Amino acid sequence: MLPRPSQAPIVTAGRPAGEVAQALWQRLLAEPWPLPLQALPAGTALVGGAVRDGLLGCLEPQPDLDFVVDGDAITLTRQLARDHGGTVVILDVDHNIARLVLGGWNLDLARRGGPSLEADLLRRDYSVNAIALPLPAGGGAASALVDPSGGLGHLQQRQLVALSEANLLADPLRLLRGIRLASSLGFALETSSAAWIQSHGAQLTTVAGERVLAELAKLAAAQQGERGLAQALAWNLLQGWGADASANLAGLSLERARQRGLLEGEIEWALPLARICALLPPEALAGLRSSNRLQQRCRALRHWQQQVAQVGCWANLPESSCLALQRQLEADFPALILLLAEPTPQLLERWRNPADPLFHPRSPLDGRSLQQQLAIPAGPELGQLLEHLSLERSFGRLPPGPEGEGAALAAAESWWRQRQGRRRD
């Protein structure tokens, strides 16, 4: 959610091709790569997002590096790991793609598809991703960029253009990726490309759920991700996965998160979480093969969003509900703030205070102490007593700190005697 890194764009009208390639290499190598260029065989070319973002001036630190090689990419990746260290991950045996994880970098190597680099590039999804930078041979001058589909011009025009309808359908995840790229880069989708995405949106259900969810997570983390998610919903890409057609994504903008008082570090994780939660019910997340943890978080956020809406505002919740809410959402409370209808900045201030007894609830005494000092047996009643003490502490009826232990013990003893008395009656 932080702004994309900003440097001057390299791709500008009228700039000589050789100069563009040289400037791109200088930018790419400003942060030393985890292995020398000489380790990669002749004919290797850098492709994909690193080339695109380097040209645009928004290259991330330690960008993912995607290489096309002439020979067996999996064998080469294993050899590089033996020579330079790192871990090999086989990504796709059929298409001969492997990843080398080395020093915090991801280097993906793929065997060239087709008889030439140009043919390989023309099999890709969008023209801005179909630009290659051949590695310099023997330390010589940078080779010119290879751009068979006009991607450089589309970068200048800030337009996202699909190479063909067939290319999109070869991997229907590319339909959703187009919306994500347009949203994250601030590009306009070319008319035919947009029409193809809309026409074939239902094909997204043929893609593995994990891949769809990973793409949605990237889109949710984009600065204007709420617009992209809303567009994917409007173009019927997500209904087959059980997305909530009534999701109020317009209210989950970066500007609104700042207006609600979230700090930048909180926005970084809370806004994507709130967007995913608004869009995808827990059942949809299960279908997308999300982690159980993400399903639990979204289920709790949706439940408490509904509970607060039913009573009108936070202040109308019963004490026991407030305590239960904080227990379930202690780590994710800023995401709930984004989902509520009314702004509540004062609640965020309390949540940021680790000593606040309600927003970070705990019992002033643990079960072992109660068993030892009051001879209370283990069982459901001990749990009920701990809940009672937590509630009393959360709403200020027990003093904070070590000095409150005596008062807590007295309150526990009184509660226990009343319970025993009712039992005798």
Q: What is the CATH number of the domain that holds 213?
A: 1.10.110.30
Same domain, 337 and 216: no
Same domain, 139 and 189: no
Same domain, 183 and 292: no
In this structure, are strands 132-134 and 45-47 parallel, antiparallel, or unpaired? antiparallel
- Ranges 51-55, 60-64, 189-193, 361-365: which has the least confidence: 361-365
As a whole number of angstroms, the distance between CA 24 and CA 20 comes to: 6
Examine the pLDDT at 425 and tell me if it is beyond 60. no
Q: Note whether residue 11 is domain-resident.
A: no
Same domain, 22 and 54: yes
pLDDT of residue 398: 86
Kindly state the average pLDDT of the residues 225-229. Answer: 97
pLDDT interval class at 215 (50, 70, 90):
very high
- Please give the DSSP secondary-structure letter assigned to residue 103: T
Q: Note whether residue 343 is domain-resident.
A: yes
- E-state strands within 70-163: 87-92, 97-102, 105-111, 132-134, 159-160
344, 337 in Cβ contact below 8 A? yes
Question: Of residues 391 and 171, which shows the higher confidence score?
Answer: 171
Domain boundary among 241, 266, 288: 241
Same domain, 330 and 354: yes
Domain boundary among 241, 262, 281: 241
Q: Note whether residue 92 is domain-resident.
A: yes
- Please give the DSSP secondary-structure letter assigned to residue 288: T
Kindly state the average pLDDT of the residues 157-185. Answer: 97
Farthest-apart Cα atoms in the chain, separation: 95
95-152 residue pLDDT tens: 999 999 999 999 999 999 999 999 999 999 999 999 999 998 765 667 889 999 999 9
Distance of CA 244 to the CA centre of its chain: 19
pLDDT of residue 283: 96
pLDDT of residue 15: 75
224, 218 in Cβ contact below 8 A? no
Same domain, 288 and 214: no
Examine the pLDDT at 55 and tell me if it is beyond 90. yes
Kindly state the average pLDDT of the residues 54-64. Answer: 93
Q: Note whether residue 220 is domain-resident.
A: yes
pLDDT of residue 64: 94
Q: Note whether residue 382 is domain-resident.
A: yes
Same domain, 126 and 26: yes
- Ranges 69-83, 280-294, 341-355: which has the least confidence: 341-355
> How many domains is the chain partitioned into structurally?
4
Same domain, 145 and 35: yes
Residue 255: which domain range?
248-361
188 — phi, psi (to 5°)? -95, 135
pLDDT interval class at 301 (50, 70, 90):
very high
What residues form DSSP beta bridges with 100?
88, 107
Kindly state the average pLDDT of the residues 57-68. Answer: 94
User: Which has the closest alpha carbon to 298: 336, 262, 260?
Assistant: 336
Q: Note whether residue 3 is domain-resident.
A: no
pTM: 0.89
Q: Note whether residue 349 is domain-resident.
A: yes
Kindly state the average pLDDT of the residues 15-36. Answer: 86
As a whole number of angstroms, the distance between CA 378 and CA 383 comes to: 8
Q: Note whether residue 405 is domain-resident.
A: yes
Question: Coil, strand or helix: which one is 40?
Answer: coil
Question: Of residues 285 and 395, which shows the higher confidence score?
Answer: 285
Same domain, 221 and 271: no
Mean pLDDT over the full length of the chain: 91
DSSP string for 5-25: P----S--TT--HHHHHHHHH
- At a CB cut-off of 8 Å and minimum separation 6, what does 423 contact? none
pLDDT of residue 421: 66
Domain boundary among 129, 157, 185: 157
Same domain, 41 and 133: yes
Same domain, 352 and 374: no
pLDDT of residue 21: 87
- At a CB cut-off of 8 Å and minimum separation 6, what does 361 contact? 323, 326, 327, 330, 390, 393, 394
Same domain, 313 and 254: yes
User: Which has the closest alpha carbon to 312: 279, 340, 291, 346?
Assistant: 340
pLDDT of residue 139: 59
